[in-house]
Amino acid sequence: MAQPALSEPRGPVPWTEADLDQFPGDSGQHYEIMDGSLLVTPMANDEHQDIADNVRALLKASAPQGWRAIREIGVRVPSGNLIPDVTVLYPHAQRAVTWRDPEDVALVVEVESPSTRRCDRKMKPELYAEAGIPVYWRIEQHIRAVTVLVYELIGRDYKLAGTATAVHPHQVTLPYPVLIDPAQLVG
């Protein structure tokens, strides 16, 4: 893995968004910051990518005019910078922005991998909720199947609003109406 081209050695200072701009953009790695610590996530496998692509396609096909579903765009959260697998942006969100402010974000989606499970279940939802992002989907992978857990922000915390499985699709209304059929998200 290529190392960042930092102009001076790192000391015990927290990592910042400006530091992320110095990492190579073509390494396949995700570089995120949580509470000043650098989180490096390995390249996702093809199944993970297929699921994320299919989620984006579902969200894009269901989106009212002006809404956008984007893959792997940066989102600013309190004390950090995260890169969800899929992000839905409000119609008012400006274009050509690398790091999104939470006010631009209606939904974030994380597809779990073995290397991201703890972050996707514990740390990232806490930061997304703290940022005020209204809806969070977590997709758990199983052998040739997925489960989609839909969380809505109630007060300061996410509450489970529904679960979609291959035998029980789930209709959501936020951020806009979408029928989640996990059987259509795999393969």
Reported as a single tens digit per residue, the pLDDT across 88-131 is 999 999 999 989 999 999 999 999 988 888 889 999 999 999 99
Question: What is the number of domains present in the chain?
Answer: 1
Residue 36 lies in a domain: no
Measuring CA to CA, which residue among 186, 184, 187 is closest to residue 61? 184
CA atoms within 13 A on the CB side of 25: 5
Q: What is the DSSP letter of 129?
A: H
Residue 22 lies in a domain: no
Confidence of residue 8 (pLDDT cuts 50, 70, 90): very low
Q: The whole model's pTM is what?
A: 0.90
Q: How far apart are the first and last CA of the chain?
A: 30
pLDDT at 26: 67
pLDDT of 6 higher than 50? no
Task: Tell me the CATH number at 160.
Answer: 3.90.1570.10
pLDDT of 5 higher than 60? no
Based on the number of CB atoms within 10 Å of its own CB, is 13 exposed (0-12), middle (13-18) or buried (19 or more)? Answer: exposed
pLDDT at 137: 98
Residue 15 lies in a domain: no
Report the mean per-residue pLDDT for the chain. Answer: 91
pLDDT at 61: 98
Q: For residue 51, what is the enclosing H or E element? A: helix 46-62
Residue 109 lies in a domain: yes
Q: Are 58 and 185 in contact (CB under 8 A)?
A: yes
Residue 170 lies in a domain: yes
Q: What is the DSSP letter of 12?
A: S
Higher pLDDT, 64 or 23: 64
Calpha distance 187→173 (Å, rounded):
26
Q: Which residues, 6+ apart, have CB-to-CB distance to 131 below 8 Å?
A: 75, 76, 77, 78, 102, 105
Confidence of residue 7 (pLDDT cuts 50, 70, 90): very low
Residue 19 lies in a domain: no
Q: Which range of residues forms the domain containing residue 133?
A: 44-184
